[in-house]
Amino acid sequence: MVANNQPVNKHQRQKLEAVLESLSKDDRDRLFAEARKQRSDAQKRRNTKARESVDGERLGRGKRRPDPLIDWVLRLVERDFAHKREDAADDRELVEGLVVGLTRRRATVLPAGCDGADLSKHILCRLSAELAGRQQDGIAVGDRVLFTTLDVPADAVEHEVVSVLPRESKLARPDSHDTNQERVVAANVDVVVIVVSVVSPPLHPRLIDRYLVAIEWGDCTPMIAVNKADLLPAGELDEALKVLEPYEQAGIPIAVCAAVPGDDSSVRVDGLRELLAGKTCAFVGHSGVGKSSLANALDESLGIATKTVRETDHRGRHTTTASAMHFIEPGIRVIDTPGVRFFGLAEMSPDELRWLFPEFERFVHSCKFNDCAHDHEPGCAVKAAVGSGEIALARYDTYLRLLEELRTGGKPKDVSERIRSDFDPSDFDPDVFDTNG
Protein backbone atom coordinates (compact mmCIF):
# COMPACT_ATOMS: atom_id res chain seq x y z
CA MET A 1 0.00 0.00 0.00
CA VAL A 2 2.88 2.34 0.62
CA ALA A 3 3.93 2.75 -2.97
CA ASN A 4 1.76 4.39 -5.60
CA ASN A 5 -1.58 4.10 -3.84
CA GLN A 6 -1.66 0.34 -4.38
CA PRO A 7 -4.58 -1.04 -2.39
CA VAL A 8 -3.42 -3.21 0.50
CA ASN A 9 -4.73 -6.70 0.89
CA LYS A 10 -7.57 -7.06 3.31
CA HIS A 11 -5.57 -8.62 6.12
CA GLN A 12 -2.84 -6.01 5.99
CA ARG A 13 -5.45 -3.28 5.90
CA GLN A 14 -7.29 -4.64 8.92
CA LYS A 15 -4.04 -4.72 10.84
CA LEU A 16 -3.24 -1.12 9.99
CA GLU A 17 -6.78 -0.11 10.86
CA ALA A 18 -6.50 -1.82 14.25
CA VAL A 19 -3.20 -0.03 14.90
CA LEU A 20 -4.79 3.28 13.97
CA GLU A 21 -7.66 2.59 16.33
CA SER A 22 -5.26 1.87 19.20
CA LEU A 23 -3.52 5.24 18.87
CA SER A 24 -4.18 8.22 21.12
CA LYS A 25 -6.55 10.92 19.89
CA ASP A 26 -3.59 13.30 19.49
CA ASP A 27 -1.70 10.86 17.30
CA ARG A 28 -4.79 10.19 15.23
CA ASP A 29 -5.53 13.89 14.81
CA ARG A 30 -1.95 14.49 13.73
CA LEU A 31 -2.09 11.67 11.16
CA PHE A 32 -5.39 12.86 9.74
CA ALA A 33 -4.13 16.43 9.48
CA GLU A 34 -0.96 15.31 7.70
CA ALA A 35 -2.93 13.00 5.39
CA ARG A 36 -5.36 15.79 4.53
CA LYS A 37 -2.46 18.04 3.65
CA GLN A 38 -0.74 15.37 1.56
CA ARG A 39 -3.91 14.65 -0.33
CA SER A 40 -4.61 18.30 -0.90
CA ASP A 41 -1.02 18.82 -2.18
CA ALA A 42 -1.43 15.86 -4.50
CA GLN A 43 -4.68 17.32 -5.78
CA LYS A 44 -2.91 20.56 -6.52
CA ARG A 45 -0.16 18.77 -8.40
CA ARG A 46 -2.52 16.78 -10.52
CA ASN A 47 -2.72 18.27 -14.00
CA THR A 48 -5.89 19.15 -15.84
CA LYS A 49 -5.76 16.07 -17.99
CA ALA A 50 -5.79 13.74 -15.03
CA ARG A 51 -8.65 15.67 -13.49
CA GLU A 52 -10.78 15.12 -16.53
CA SER A 53 -10.56 11.39 -16.25
CA VAL A 54 -11.30 11.63 -12.54
CA ASP A 55 -14.39 13.69 -13.27
CA GLY A 56 -15.44 11.13 -15.83
CA GLU A 57 -15.09 8.45 -13.25
CA ARG A 58 -17.25 10.41 -10.85
CA LEU A 59 -20.06 10.76 -13.35
CA GLY A 60 -19.85 7.13 -14.33
CA ARG A 61 -19.65 5.53 -10.94
CA GLY A 62 -20.81 8.13 -8.49
CA LYS A 63 -17.59 8.01 -6.43
CA ARG A 64 -15.41 11.00 -7.13
CA ARG A 65 -12.19 10.63 -5.21
CA PRO A 66 -9.96 7.82 -6.41
CA ASP A 67 -8.00 7.70 -3.15
CA PRO A 68 -10.08 8.31 -0.03
CA LEU A 69 -8.47 10.11 2.89
CA ILE A 70 -8.26 6.91 4.88
CA ASP A 71 -5.79 5.40 2.39
CA TRP A 72 -3.50 8.33 2.97
CA VAL A 73 -3.88 7.92 6.71
CA LEU A 74 -3.13 4.21 6.64
CA ARG A 75 0.04 4.87 4.66
CA LEU A 76 1.15 7.17 7.47
CA VAL A 77 0.21 4.58 10.08
CA GLU A 78 2.43 2.09 8.33
CA ARG A 79 5.26 4.61 8.14
CA ASP A 80 5.06 5.68 11.79
CA PHE A 81 3.47 2.96 13.87
CA ALA A 82 3.12 -0.42 12.16
CA HIS A 83 6.29 -1.88 13.66
CA LYS A 84 5.10 -1.22 17.22
CA ARG A 85 2.19 -3.57 16.95
CA GLU A 86 3.80 -6.60 15.33
CA ASP A 87 3.52 -8.77 18.43
CA ALA A 88 0.59 -7.07 20.11
CA ALA A 89 -2.11 -9.05 18.34
CA ASP A 90 -5.13 -9.36 20.59
CA ASP A 91 -5.63 -12.90 21.80
CA ARG A 92 -9.41 -12.63 21.69
CA GLU A 93 -10.95 -13.62 18.37
CA LEU A 94 -12.28 -10.56 16.60
CA VAL A 95 -15.04 -10.62 14.01
CA GLU A 96 -15.79 -7.78 11.60
CA GLY A 97 -19.32 -6.41 11.43
CA LEU A 98 -21.44 -3.42 10.46
CA VAL A 99 -23.36 -1.26 12.97
CA VAL A 100 -27.01 -1.37 11.90
CA GLY A 101 -28.57 -0.06 15.13
CA LEU A 102 -27.39 2.02 18.05
CA THR A 103 -28.57 3.10 21.49
CA ARG A 104 -26.66 4.62 24.38
CA ARG A 105 -24.82 1.48 25.44
CA ARG A 106 -25.58 -1.06 22.78
CA ALA A 107 -25.05 -1.62 19.12
CA THR A 108 -26.77 -4.05 16.81
CA VAL A 109 -24.13 -5.51 14.54
CA LEU A 110 -24.43 -7.41 11.28
CA PRO A 111 -21.45 -9.76 10.81
CA ALA A 112 -19.56 -9.09 7.57
CA GLY A 113 -20.94 -11.02 4.61
CA CYS A 114 -24.42 -11.57 6.10
CA ASP A 115 -27.69 -10.42 4.57
CA GLY A 116 -28.98 -7.41 6.52
CA ALA A 117 -32.59 -8.16 5.73
CA ASP A 118 -32.27 -11.40 7.71
CA LEU A 119 -32.90 -10.17 11.25
CA SER A 120 -31.77 -13.48 12.75
CA LYS A 121 -28.23 -12.52 11.73
CA HIS A 122 -28.26 -9.27 13.74
CA ILE A 123 -26.21 -9.52 16.93
CA LEU A 124 -26.81 -7.35 19.98
CA CYS A 125 -23.51 -6.16 21.45
CA ARG A 126 -22.61 -4.00 24.36
CA LEU A 127 -20.09 -1.21 23.75
CA SER A 128 -16.63 -1.37 25.30
CA ALA A 129 -16.31 1.14 28.14
CA GLU A 130 -14.04 3.29 25.99
CA LEU A 131 -16.54 3.43 23.12
CA ALA A 132 -19.52 4.07 25.39
CA GLY A 133 -17.55 7.00 26.81
CA ARG A 134 -17.00 8.70 23.49
CA GLN A 135 -20.13 7.78 21.65
CA GLN A 136 -20.56 11.23 20.10
CA ASP A 137 -17.80 10.70 17.60
CA GLY A 138 -16.66 7.22 18.51
CA ILE A 139 -19.35 5.06 16.94
CA ALA A 140 -22.26 5.61 14.59
CA VAL A 141 -24.66 3.62 12.47
CA GLY A 142 -22.75 2.55 9.35
CA ASP A 143 -19.45 2.02 11.14
CA ARG A 144 -17.46 -1.12 10.46
CA VAL A 145 -16.44 -2.59 13.81
CA LEU A 146 -14.60 -5.50 15.35
CA PHE A 147 -16.57 -7.42 17.98
CA THR A 148 -15.88 -10.38 20.19
CA THR A 149 -17.71 -12.95 22.31
CA LEU A 150 -17.75 -12.22 26.05
CA ASP A 151 -16.52 -14.92 28.41
CA VAL A 152 -19.33 -14.02 30.76
CA PRO A 153 -22.58 -12.65 29.26
CA ALA A 154 -23.65 -9.31 30.76
CA ASP A 155 -27.40 -8.63 31.03
CA ALA A 156 -28.07 -11.36 28.49
CA VAL A 157 -25.71 -9.69 26.00
CA GLU A 158 -23.03 -12.09 24.82
CA HIS A 159 -20.95 -9.88 22.58
CA GLU A 160 -18.98 -6.68 22.81
CA VAL A 161 -17.88 -4.14 20.22
CA VAL A 162 -14.18 -3.67 20.85
CA SER A 163 -13.13 -1.17 18.22
CA VAL A 164 -14.33 0.88 15.29
CA LEU A 165 -12.48 0.57 12.00
CA PRO A 166 -11.49 3.80 10.24
CA ARG A 167 -14.23 5.45 8.23
CA GLU A 168 -14.30 6.03 4.50
CA SER A 169 -16.72 8.90 4.98
CA LYS A 170 -18.92 10.40 7.62
CA LEU A 171 -21.79 12.75 8.15
CA ALA A 172 -20.94 14.96 11.12
CA ARG A 173 -22.16 18.13 12.75
CA PRO A 174 -20.81 20.27 15.57
CA ASP A 175 -22.13 19.58 19.03
CA SER A 176 -24.81 22.09 20.00
CA HIS A 177 -23.08 22.78 23.33
CA ASP A 178 -19.45 22.61 22.29
CA THR A 179 -18.82 23.49 18.65
CA ASN A 180 -15.26 22.18 18.77
CA GLN A 181 -16.67 18.74 19.40
CA GLU A 182 -18.18 16.95 16.45
CA ARG A 183 -21.00 14.47 16.47
CA VAL A 184 -20.86 11.80 13.85
CA VAL A 185 -24.44 11.07 12.85
CA ALA A 186 -23.73 8.39 10.24
CA ALA A 187 -20.62 6.62 8.97
CA ASN A 188 -19.50 5.20 5.63
CA VAL A 189 -22.33 6.81 3.71
CA ASP A 190 -21.95 6.37 -0.07
CA VAL A 191 -24.59 8.90 -1.03
CA VAL A 192 -26.21 11.69 0.92
CA VAL A 193 -29.55 12.55 -0.61
CA ILE A 194 -30.42 16.22 -0.19
CA VAL A 195 -34.20 16.24 -0.24
CA VAL A 196 -35.98 19.40 -1.37
CA SER A 197 -39.59 19.92 -2.35
CA VAL A 198 -40.78 21.97 -5.33
CA VAL A 199 -43.40 23.63 -3.13
CA SER A 200 -44.46 23.51 0.51
CA PRO A 201 -41.82 24.31 1.60
CA PRO A 202 -40.50 26.16 -1.48
CA LEU A 203 -37.19 25.27 -3.10
CA HIS A 204 -34.13 27.11 -1.70
CA PRO A 205 -30.97 26.52 -3.77
CA ARG A 206 -28.81 28.29 -1.16
CA LEU A 207 -29.75 25.67 1.37
CA ILE A 208 -28.63 23.00 -1.08
CA ASP A 209 -25.23 24.71 -1.39
CA ARG A 210 -24.72 24.61 2.36
CA TYR A 211 -25.55 20.94 2.50
CA LEU A 212 -23.20 20.29 -0.40
CA VAL A 213 -20.26 21.83 1.43
CA ALA A 214 -21.01 19.82 4.57
CA ILE A 215 -21.30 16.65 2.52
CA GLU A 216 -18.04 17.24 0.66
CA TRP A 217 -16.34 17.92 3.96
CA GLY A 218 -17.21 14.45 5.22
CA ASP A 219 -15.98 12.87 1.96
CA CYS A 220 -19.48 11.76 1.05
CA THR A 221 -21.08 12.01 -2.41
CA PRO A 222 -24.21 14.16 -2.83
CA MET A 223 -27.41 13.60 -4.78
CA ILE A 224 -30.55 15.74 -4.97
CA ALA A 225 -34.10 14.40 -4.70
CA VAL A 226 -36.77 16.93 -5.70
CA ASN A 227 -39.94 15.77 -4.01
CA LYS A 228 -43.65 16.68 -4.22
CA ALA A 229 -43.50 16.93 -8.01
CA ASP A 230 -47.17 15.94 -8.01
CA LEU A 231 -48.10 19.33 -6.56
CA LEU A 232 -47.14 21.31 -9.70
CA PRO A 233 -48.55 21.06 -13.24
CA ALA A 234 -45.94 19.86 -15.76
CA GLY A 235 -45.16 23.30 -17.21
CA GLU A 236 -44.64 24.91 -13.83
CA LEU A 237 -42.58 21.98 -12.66
CA ASP A 238 -40.11 22.44 -15.54
CA GLU A 239 -39.86 26.10 -14.67
CA ALA A 240 -39.24 25.37 -10.98
CA LEU A 241 -36.56 22.80 -11.81
CA LYS A 242 -34.51 25.39 -13.73
CA VAL A 243 -32.86 26.60 -10.50
CA LEU A 244 -31.23 23.19 -10.26
CA GLU A 245 -29.32 23.50 -13.55
CA PRO A 246 -26.05 24.55 -11.86
CA TYR A 247 -26.08 21.31 -9.86
CA GLU A 248 -26.75 19.23 -12.91
CA GLN A 249 -23.88 21.06 -14.58
CA ALA A 250 -21.68 20.21 -11.57
CA GLY A 251 -22.39 16.52 -12.17
CA ILE A 252 -24.71 15.96 -9.21
CA PRO A 253 -27.41 13.36 -9.94
CA ILE A 254 -30.95 14.70 -9.56
CA ALA A 255 -34.10 12.58 -9.12
CA VAL A 256 -37.55 14.11 -9.46
CA CYS A 257 -39.92 12.29 -7.09
CA ALA A 258 -43.39 12.19 -5.62
CA ALA A 259 -43.42 10.17 -2.44
CA VAL A 260 -47.17 10.64 -2.13
CA PRO A 261 -48.29 10.70 -5.75
CA GLY A 262 -51.39 12.70 -6.61
CA ASP A 263 -53.18 12.39 -9.96
CA ASP A 264 -50.01 12.19 -11.98
CA SER A 265 -48.65 8.77 -11.22
CA SER A 266 -45.79 9.06 -13.73
CA VAL A 267 -43.45 10.62 -11.18
CA ARG A 268 -42.91 8.46 -8.15
CA VAL A 269 -39.67 7.19 -6.74
CA ASP A 270 -38.42 4.84 -9.46
CA GLY A 271 -35.66 7.21 -10.60
CA LEU A 272 -34.43 7.59 -7.05
CA ARG A 273 -34.50 3.85 -6.48
CA GLU A 274 -32.35 3.34 -9.56
CA LEU A 275 -29.78 5.92 -8.47
CA LEU A 276 -29.53 4.40 -4.99
CA ALA A 277 -29.27 0.75 -6.03
CA GLY A 278 -26.51 -1.02 -4.12
CA LYS A 279 -25.60 2.03 -2.05
CA THR A 280 -25.65 3.13 1.58
CA CYS A 281 -27.48 6.43 1.83
CA ALA A 282 -28.91 8.99 4.24
CA PHE A 283 -31.64 11.56 3.60
CA VAL A 284 -31.05 15.14 4.73
CA GLY A 285 -33.10 18.29 4.24
CA HIS A 286 -35.55 20.82 5.57
CA SER A 287 -38.29 19.55 7.84
CA GLY A 288 -41.44 18.61 5.97
CA VAL A 289 -39.87 18.10 2.53
CA GLY A 290 -40.71 14.40 2.68
CA LYS A 291 -37.57 12.55 3.79
CA SER A 292 -39.52 9.96 5.76
CA SER A 293 -42.17 9.70 3.07
CA LEU A 294 -39.50 8.99 0.43
CA ALA A 295 -37.92 6.21 2.47
CA ASN A 296 -41.35 4.71 3.05
CA ALA A 297 -42.22 5.01 -0.64
CA LEU A 298 -39.07 3.06 -1.51
CA ASP A 299 -40.25 0.27 0.75
CA GLU A 300 -43.75 0.22 2.15
CA SER A 301 -42.81 -2.10 4.98
CA LEU A 302 -40.45 0.44 6.57
CA GLY A 303 -43.15 2.41 8.36
CA ILE A 304 -40.88 5.34 9.31
CA ALA A 305 -42.97 7.94 11.11
CA THR A 306 -43.83 10.91 8.90
CA LYS A 307 -44.58 14.47 9.92
CA THR A 308 -48.31 14.04 10.35
CA VAL A 309 -47.83 11.09 12.65
CA ARG A 310 -45.18 12.83 14.66
CA GLU A 311 -47.29 15.91 15.17
CA THR A 312 -50.05 13.95 16.79
CA ASP A 313 -47.70 11.85 18.86
CA HIS A 314 -44.85 14.11 19.82
CA ARG A 315 -43.34 12.02 22.59
CA GLY A 316 -43.83 8.77 20.79
CA ARG A 317 -41.33 9.61 18.10
CA HIS A 318 -38.42 8.93 20.44
CA THR A 319 -39.14 5.30 19.99
CA THR A 320 -40.05 5.48 16.32
CA THR A 321 -36.84 7.32 15.36
CA ALA A 322 -34.20 5.09 16.90
CA SER A 323 -30.89 5.02 15.02
CA ALA A 324 -31.05 2.28 12.48
CA MET A 325 -30.06 1.08 9.07
CA HIS A 326 -32.87 -0.15 6.84
CA PHE A 327 -32.33 -2.69 4.09
CA ILE A 328 -34.31 -2.11 0.91
CA GLU A 329 -34.23 -3.84 -2.46
CA PRO A 330 -32.19 -3.57 -4.68
CA GLY A 331 -29.35 -3.56 -2.16
CA ILE A 332 -30.12 -0.10 -0.78
CA ARG A 333 -29.17 0.65 2.82
CA VAL A 334 -30.84 3.70 4.36
CA ILE A 335 -29.31 5.15 7.51
CA ASP A 336 -31.97 6.85 9.56
CA THR A 337 -30.80 8.53 12.76
CA PRO A 338 -32.31 11.53 14.53
CA GLY A 339 -28.97 13.35 14.20
CA VAL A 340 -28.96 13.01 10.41
CA ARG A 341 -31.82 15.46 10.25
CA PHE A 342 -29.73 18.22 11.80
CA PHE A 343 -26.29 17.67 10.46
CA GLY A 344 -24.18 20.70 9.56
CA LEU A 345 -20.60 21.85 9.18
CA ALA A 346 -17.84 20.85 11.54
CA GLU A 347 -14.59 22.74 11.91
CA MET A 348 -13.29 24.06 8.62
CA SER A 349 -10.81 26.66 7.48
CA PRO A 350 -11.40 29.06 4.57
CA ASP A 351 -8.55 27.23 2.87
CA GLU A 352 -10.39 23.93 3.07
CA LEU A 353 -13.52 25.46 1.60
CA ARG A 354 -11.65 25.85 -1.70
CA TRP A 355 -11.61 22.09 -2.14
CA LEU A 356 -15.30 21.59 -1.42
CA PHE A 357 -16.66 22.87 -4.71
CA PRO A 358 -15.93 19.95 -7.04
CA GLU A 359 -16.60 21.87 -10.23
CA PHE A 360 -13.76 24.29 -9.39
CA GLU A 361 -11.16 21.55 -9.33
CA ARG A 362 -10.72 21.42 -13.08
CA PHE A 363 -9.61 25.06 -13.10
CA VAL A 364 -7.69 25.71 -9.88
CA HIS A 365 -4.42 24.44 -11.31
CA SER A 366 -4.45 27.24 -13.85
CA CYS A 367 -4.77 30.03 -11.27
CA LYS A 368 -1.75 32.32 -11.25
CA PHE A 369 -1.20 31.84 -7.52
CA ASN A 370 -0.87 28.44 -5.96
CA ASP A 371 -2.89 29.43 -2.92
CA CYS A 372 -5.47 31.43 -4.89
CA ALA A 373 -8.70 31.83 -2.92
CA HIS A 374 -10.53 32.73 -6.18
CA ASP A 375 -11.56 35.96 -4.58
CA HIS A 376 -9.59 39.16 -5.36
CA GLU A 377 -6.51 37.53 -6.87
CA PRO A 378 -5.42 38.44 -10.41
CA GLY A 379 -5.11 35.64 -12.95
CA CYS A 380 -7.76 33.50 -11.30
CA ALA A 381 -8.88 30.66 -13.57
CA VAL A 382 -11.97 29.97 -11.48
CA LYS A 383 -13.24 33.51 -11.93
CA ALA A 384 -12.50 33.24 -15.64
CA ALA A 385 -14.55 30.04 -15.77
CA VAL A 386 -17.44 31.81 -14.06
CA GLY A 387 -17.15 34.53 -16.72
CA SER A 388 -17.31 32.01 -19.55
CA GLY A 389 -20.24 30.16 -17.97
CA GLU A 390 -18.28 26.97 -17.29
CA ILE A 391 -18.93 27.43 -13.57
CA ALA A 392 -22.41 28.56 -12.51
CA LEU A 393 -22.49 32.09 -11.14
CA ALA A 394 -24.93 31.06 -8.41
CA ARG A 395 -22.48 28.47 -7.10
CA TYR A 396 -19.58 30.93 -7.18
CA ASP A 397 -21.71 33.45 -5.28
CA THR A 398 -22.35 30.87 -2.60
CA TYR A 399 -18.65 30.10 -2.43
CA LEU A 400 -17.81 33.78 -1.83
CA ARG A 401 -20.53 34.08 0.77
CA LEU A 402 -19.35 31.04 2.72
CA LEU A 403 -15.71 32.17 2.39
CA GLU A 404 -16.63 35.52 3.89
CA GLU A 405 -18.48 33.84 6.74
CA LEU A 406 -15.57 31.58 7.56
CA ARG A 407 -13.09 34.46 7.38
CA THR A 408 -15.00 36.97 9.44
CA GLY A 409 -16.95 34.92 11.89
CA GLY A 410 -14.31 32.26 11.77
CA LYS A 411 -16.77 30.11 13.62
CA PRO A 412 -18.03 27.12 11.69
CA LYS A 413 -20.96 27.26 14.08
CA ASP A 414 -22.32 30.26 12.21
CA VAL A 415 -22.58 28.26 9.06
CA SER A 416 -24.23 25.24 10.61
CA GLU A 417 -26.48 27.45 12.65
CA ARG A 418 -27.86 28.78 9.41
CA ILE A 419 -28.46 25.37 8.09
CA ARG A 420 -30.26 24.58 11.25
CA SER A 421 -32.24 27.80 11.31
CA ASP A 422 -34.08 26.54 8.26
CA PHE A 423 -35.39 23.62 10.22
CA ASP A 424 -38.56 23.56 12.17
CA PRO A 425 -37.34 24.31 15.73
CA SER A 426 -39.99 22.07 17.21
CA ASP A 427 -38.14 19.23 15.53
CA PHE A 428 -35.05 19.94 17.57
CA ASP A 429 -34.85 17.78 20.61
CA PRO A 430 -31.47 17.65 22.39
CA ASP A 431 -32.45 14.48 24.21
CA VAL A 432 -32.46 12.63 20.98
CA PHE A 433 -28.82 13.53 20.34
CA ASP A 434 -27.75 12.47 23.77
CA THR A 435 -28.84 8.95 23.22
CA ASN A 436 -27.64 8.93 19.72
CA GLY A 437 -25.07 10.09 17.20
Question: Residues in the site for Zn ion, rule: CB under 5 A?
Answer: 367, 372, 374, 380, 382
**φ/ψ of residue 79, rounded to 5:** -65, -45
Nearer to ligand GDP, 144 or 268 (CB): 268
Closest to 299 (Cα-Cα) out of 266, 267, 332, 324: 332
426 binds ligand GDP (CB under 6 A): no
Phi, psi (degrees; rounded to nearest 5) at 244: -90, 0
Q: In terms of CB distance, is 269 or 380 closer to ligand GDP? A: 269
Between 5 and 308, whose beta carbon lies closer to ligand GDP?
308
Choose which of 82, 114, 150, 231 interacts with ligand GDP (CB under 6 A): 231
Binding-site partner at residue 291 among Zn ion, ligand GDP, none, CB < 5 to 8 Å by type: ligand GDP
CB of 191 to ligand GDP, least distance (A): 17
Q: What is the CA radius of gyration of the chain?
A: 22
Footprint of ligand GDP on 300-329 (CB under 6 A):
306-308
Among 227, 280, 337, 416, contact with ligand GDP (rule: CB under 6 A): 227
Q: Using CA of residue 167, residue 57, residue 223, residue 360, what is the dihedral sign?
A: positive
Burial status of residue 60 (CB atoms within 10 A of its CB: 0-12, 13-18, 19 or more)? exposed
Amino acid at 358: P
Q: Which is nearer to ligand GDP, 32 or 428 (CB)?
A: 428
Number of H helices, E strands in the chain: 19, 13
Q: Does 241 bind ligand GDP (CB under 6 A)?
A: no
Phi, psi of 284 (to 5 degrees): -125, 160
Which C-beta is closer to ligand GDP: that of 211 or that of 396? Answer: 211
Query: Any contact of residue 384 with ligand GDP (CB under 6 A)?
Result: no
Nearer to ligand GDP, 228 or 413 (CB): 228
288 binds, among Zn ion, ligand GDP, none (CB under 5 to 8 A by kind): ligand GDP
CA torsion angle for 285, 290, 295, 313 (degrees, to 10)?
A: 100
Beta bridge partners of residue 252, listed in sequence order: none
Interface residue with ligand GDP, options 258, 281, 334, 385 (CB under 6 A) = 258
Binding region for ligand GDP (CB under 6 A)? 227-228, 230-231, 258-260, 262, 287-293, 306-308
